[in-house]
Homo-oligomer: A and B are copies of this chain.
Amino acid sequence: MMANCCWLRYLAALFILTNCLVFALLLDLPAFDRHALLAERVRLYETMRANILEKESNNQLGGRIVLNAKERVANELIMFEKKHELERGLHNLSNFQASQHFFRSFTKINNTILFQRLRAMPKGGVLHAHDMALCSSDYLLKLTYREHLWACVSKSVEKEYQKLLFSLMQPQVEETCEWALLSALRAEEQSDVVDKELLAQLTMYPQEEFENEDAVWRRFRSIFRLVIGLLSYAPVWEQYIYRALEEFHEDGVQYLEIRSVLPILYDLVGGNFTILNTTRAMRNADLRFRASHSDWIGSRLIYAPTRRVSDARFAEYLGNALLLKSHFPDYFAGFDLVGFEDEGRPLRDYAGELLSIQGEIDFYFHAGETNWYGTNTDENLLDAVLLGTKRIGHGLALLKHPEVLRAARLQNIALEVNPISNQVLQYIGDLRTHPAAVLFADNYPVVIASDDPSFWKATPLTHDFYMAFMVIASRKADLGLLKQLALNSIAYGAFSASERVEAYEKWNLKWESWIDDINSEMTS
């Protein structure tokens, strides 16, 4: 309403002046009167223009953040770099990395001063990341040097590693591939050849374009199938999770919510494992990491099995969720469903079951990760909100549902935005067209996350922050926006009130020392 009033006032004033000007012409008043009138209109125009821009600037994400003197120093440095890169892009778009496909741009981005700054910046927590895609591929490759690791290599012409499995003897025969000890394969060919082949299949590289989302998801799932045998090996799993915490921590992250399918672990002697073992290992990794890193806030589990299952299987899921909550009240955060949303069953199918445990289990649903409009997939957004989801994963279609958007805001439901994932999975081309820009403009509660950074060789969070800052946000958005994004990740994390305060303090401590470092760097 405010805005409307101020606009109406402007229109009224303009109307009057216009008529004055016309009369002035009709009555042929001396030129200087007409000039005076015109000058008055230009003044009014410029004032109004400035007001509107200021209002938009204040209302945008981070627009209400007041930077202190030291922060303003850091801001100047950062905005210098941001504007510099944008000017080059505005002058010649082919110089502008951030609007190109990430596979082409990411090495160039790594070399920018801005990226280095963002990497060092305390960015808060990552609230959307999947268990099988957390670590750098270099680390995964190291894991493949463990003994007793078998690879199932495709029989088809083009060599493809379809599965990995630790075993004392040859695993049971597969239809489409043949088992061989990786150590043996490395002995036959040069090991760097094998490494190269493996690396090529541990990420989506180098393919930038798939025929469509369906094709992308087929490739995407093939990576999951490959790594799961490597990572769900009992002696590996806890170390892998620990390593993930290290890599996220090194990237300026202090908190991590892991969406996990909770794979059943296995070992060489047919040991008996359940999801409780899987979860305990994750929690142990977190406890060990906390013990050795005082600035680490912690990590949490969002149990997120695949969405494409029978009602019976789904009932088991909810049983598991309750079980996990009772065993790990301090580690279990909530429940979600994963997988290609367009192909999976809609949330509505499970509404009855979900409502029955709504009071006991928190939901963090993926919803609206789609380009369709008016289908089960985008309407998952409606169901997620009606089911009282705490946050929405992706929600690319949210703007197409104004009622749901209004309701989500009313309930303070944050959106987990994963820019690079959305591009690599081909929901969006040029990230300047990411719909989150509209949510930024209106200061909607948004957090930036990385989804599956390992699959696109991205850093755990910095690359997504870079994209959010450079192309999703306005050219004019500054350190205030970056700080707001970090604050949001604390505000919308799965914390109790007291935990949230503690989390904030741990983040703020690092933030202030980061700001101090930049200031001393300037003065030295």
Residue of B nearest to A89 (CB): B372
The verdict on A207 contacting chain B, using a C-beta distance below 8 Å, is: no
Chain B residues with Cβ under 8 A from A403's Cβ?
A: 3, 52, 55-56, 59
- A3 to B: closest C-beta gap in Å: 5
Residue of B nearest to A401 (CB): B56
Q: Specify the main secondary structure of chain A where it touches its partner.
A: helix
**Which listed segment binds B: A278-286, A288-296, A375-383?**
A375-383
Chain B residues with Cβ under 8 A from A38's Cβ?
A: 352, 355-356
Q: Are A42 and B351 in contact (CB under 8 A)?
A: yes
Contact status of A402 and B477, CB under 8 A, knowing A342-B90, A359-B21, A388-B14: no
Q: Are A7 and B351 in contact (CB under 8 A)?
A: no
Other-chain residue from B11, B441, B473 in contact with A399 (beta carbon distance below 8 A): B441
**Which listed segment binds B: A298-306, A307-315, A430-438?**
A430-438
Interface centre among A46, A351, A441, A442 (most CB of B within 10 A): A441
The verdict on A99 contacting chain B, using a C-beta distance below 8 Å, is: yes
Q: Are A211 and B7 in contact (CB under 8 A)?
A: no
Q: Are B351 and A59 in contact (CB under 8 A)?
A: no
Q: 18 other contacts beyond A374-B473, A435-B435, with CB at 8 A cut-off?
A: A7-B406, A7-B407, A7-B411, A21-B359, A41-B355, A42-B352, A46-B351, A52-B404, A55-B403, A90-B375, A93-B212, A94-B211, A371-B432, A372-B475, A373-B473, A400-B437, A429-B429, A433-B435
17 contacts across the A-B interface (CB closer than 8 A): A18-B359, A21-B356, A38-B352, A41-B358, A42-B351, A45-B386, A45-B387, A53-B379, A56-B403, A59-B402, A99-B212, A99-B371, A374-B475, A400-B437, A400-B474, A428-B429, A433-B435
Copies of the polypeptide in the assembly: 2
Residue of B nearest to A55 (CB): B403
Q: In the bound complex, what is the Cα–Cα distance between A18 and B399 (angstroms)? A: 29
Other-chain residue from B3, B22, B213 in contact with A407 (beta carbon distance below 8 A): B3
Chain B residues with Cβ under 8 A from A474's Cβ?
A: 373-374, 400
Other-chain residue from B22, B387, B388, B473 in contact with A359 (beta carbon distance below 8 A): B22
Q: In the bound complex, what is the Cα–Cα distance between A457 and B329 (angstroms)? A: 63
Q: In the bound complex, what is the Cα–Cα distance between A45 and B358 (angstroms)? A: 12
Residue of B nearest to A213 (CB): B93
